[in-house]
Amino acid sequence: MARSDGEASRPLVLVVEDHEDTRVLLKTMLEMRGYSVALAEDGEEGVRAASREHPRLVIMDATLPRLDGLAATRRIRSDSSLEGVPVIFLSGHAQPDFRAEALDAGGTEFFVKPVMLEELAAALERHLRVPDA
């Protein structure tokens, strides 16, 4: 999917989420904050989209069909062209062990659902802030 010139100047965020309501909510919030958004519904599609679209950041659900978020993140991390792309996990799993596993898989940050949109927005700003020229 080719992006227009206006979209190309906005940071692209890939949202990998299997629940449509959550995808729509995240897409709307991201677009309202000036980001371009690519969407994927499962882990395999997320890995393909990351490789094809080269997002500046990935929001990854932990529990996904076909390929879970942990395995998808490991695959993204194995792609040298995606080195340094932050992966923010959103998960219904609140256990500290699972959080540690997600970060070990290559996650940059981990939020438990339901996430406060302000907290997620602050994380996006931290990772997508454009340095002063």
pLDDT in tens, 62-91: 999 999 999 999 999 999 999 999 999 999
pLDDT in tens, 92-102: 988 999 999 99
- Is 16 within a domain? yes
Partners of 59 in the β-ladder: 15, 88
Q: Structural domain tally of the chain? A: 1
The domain that contains 37 carries what CATH number? 3.40.50.2300
| Residues spanned by the domain of 24 | 9-125
As a whole-number percent, the residues of the chain with pLDDT over 70 amount to 91
How far apart (Å, rounded) are the C-alpha atoms in residues 13 and 128? 10
φ and ψ at residue 125, rounded to 5 degrees: -60, -40
- Is 130 within a domain? no
The Cβ of residue 103 has, within 10 Å, a number of other Cβ atoms equal to 15
Amino acid 8: pLDDT: 61
φ and ψ at residue 61, rounded to 5 degrees: -70, 145
How far apart (Å, rounded) are the C-alpha atoms in residues 50 and 15? 10
